[in-house]
Amino acid sequence: MAPVAFLVSVAVFLLIHLTPGDPAAIILGEEGSASTIAALHKELGLDQPLTTQYAIWIARVLHGDLGSSLRTHQPVTQAIGERLPATLELGLAALLWSLAVAIPLGTVAALRRGSLLDVLASGFTVAGVSVPNFFIGILLILLMGLALRLFPVGGFVPFTEDPFQNLRHLLLPALTLGTAGAAINMRFTRSSMIEVLGQDYIRTARAKGAPWLRVVRAHALKNALIPVVTVVGIQVGSIIEGALVTETVFSWPGVGKLAVDGIFGRDYPVIQGIVLIAALSYMVANLLVDLTYAYLDPRITYS
């Protein structure tokens, strides 16, 4: 993991140098004069050799300093820290929704293979991964927000201020973000459940007279969910990725919105910081998934 983490940090560092032309001139746009460009060069350390720049940057990053926003001059770690709770709330709610749909539906589809419910469930799987999530968001806004006027179509109320309003504002974004995950998790639950149900130990459990529901719950589902843990873990690691679009659609003041605003403001320290954190949390999630997997399934060993 260490060499990959190093390469990732280099890639994030080089991001600003990918810009065609002088990054300082691009950041300042038309307002940039020779003196302001030179000042920004100094502020960003662009007047140093590339290796020195990287050494200074990585030393700061390792001390938890991601630089400051070029627009608001707020430290990037602080800006991300302020918005992370909203993103985590959204991500968690989306995950709960996806699992609440996926596990029961996937299990029943596996138990009743070929039934109407199974056909509908696999239709949902295909639809869930074929519909862009911003489009799901817009459909929900149209139907639940504008036509039925059940839920607000955007905005955010902190939980500490008004828990009920917070949850009302949360519902549509969470459904938007969680639906693709629900489709993927359901597909995994179904196929894994089908495989487990064909195992000898299920037949043994049934043969010794265990009630069918107990066999499904205690013997089959428990084992069938092991591969599902893998995908769910990776989904947790990519919360920021999914939040980018959903937060934009619903004006949800999280990290994703911060990133999109940063892109349009050419606020490179903010973009770099968020990309770095997104990549690191994704890597850590992958590692944790591998370790959890080995713990849950003792047949797996890592050399």
Partner 1 sequence: MSTAAAYQAGPPEPLAPGEGGDVRLSLPALVRSQPRILFAGGLLLLLVLTALLAPAISGHDPILTDPDNALLAPSRGHWMGTDELGRDLLARVLWGGRVSLPVAFVAVVVGLSVGGLTGLVAGYRGRVTDLLLMRAVDAILAFPALILAIAIVSALGPSLRNAMIAIGIVQIPVYARLTRAQVLQLKGLDFVAAARALGASPLRLVARHLVPNLLNPLIVQVSLSAAFAILAEATLSFLGLGAQPPTPDWGFMINDGSRFLANGAWWLALAPGLAICLAVFGFNWLGDSLRDALDPRLRR
Please report, as ranges, the residues that interact with partner 1 according to CB under 8 A.
Answer: 1, 3-5, 7-8, 11-12, 15-16, 18-20, 126-127, 129-132, 134-135, 138-139, 141-142, 146, 153, 227, 230, 234, 237-238, 240-241, 244-245, 248-249, 259-260, 262-264, 271, 275, 278-279, 282-283, 286-287, 289-290, 293-294, 297, 299-302
CA distance 72 to 160: 26
Q: Considering beta carbons, is residue 157 or 288 the nearer one to partner 1?
A: 288
- Asked if residues 252 and 236 have their Cβ atoms less than 8 Å apart, the reply is no
In the complex, minimum distance from the CB of residue 50 to partner 1, in angstroms, rounded to a whole number: 15
Q: What is the spatial distance between Cα 250 and Cα 257, in angstroms, rounded to a whole number?
A: 10
The nearer residue to partner 1, 100 or 300, going by C-beta atoms, is 300
| Cβ nearer to partner 1, comparing 153 with 216 | 153
Q: Which is nearer to partner 1, 1 or 150 (CB)?
A: 1
Amino acid at 101: V
Q: Supply the minimum distance, in Å, between the C-beta of residue 293 and partner 1.
A: 5
Q: Is the Cβ of residue 159 or residue 230 nearer to partner 1 in the bound state?
A: 230
Q: How far apart are CA 39 and CA 32, in angstroms?
A: 10
Which amino acid, 15?
L
Enumerate the β-bridge partners of residue 75: 68
Q: Of 130, 89, 87, 95, which Cα lies nearest the Cα of 228?
A: 95
In whole angstroms, how close is the CB of 165 to partner 1 at the nearest point?
20
Q: How many CA atoms lie within 13 A of 45 on its CB side?
A: 16
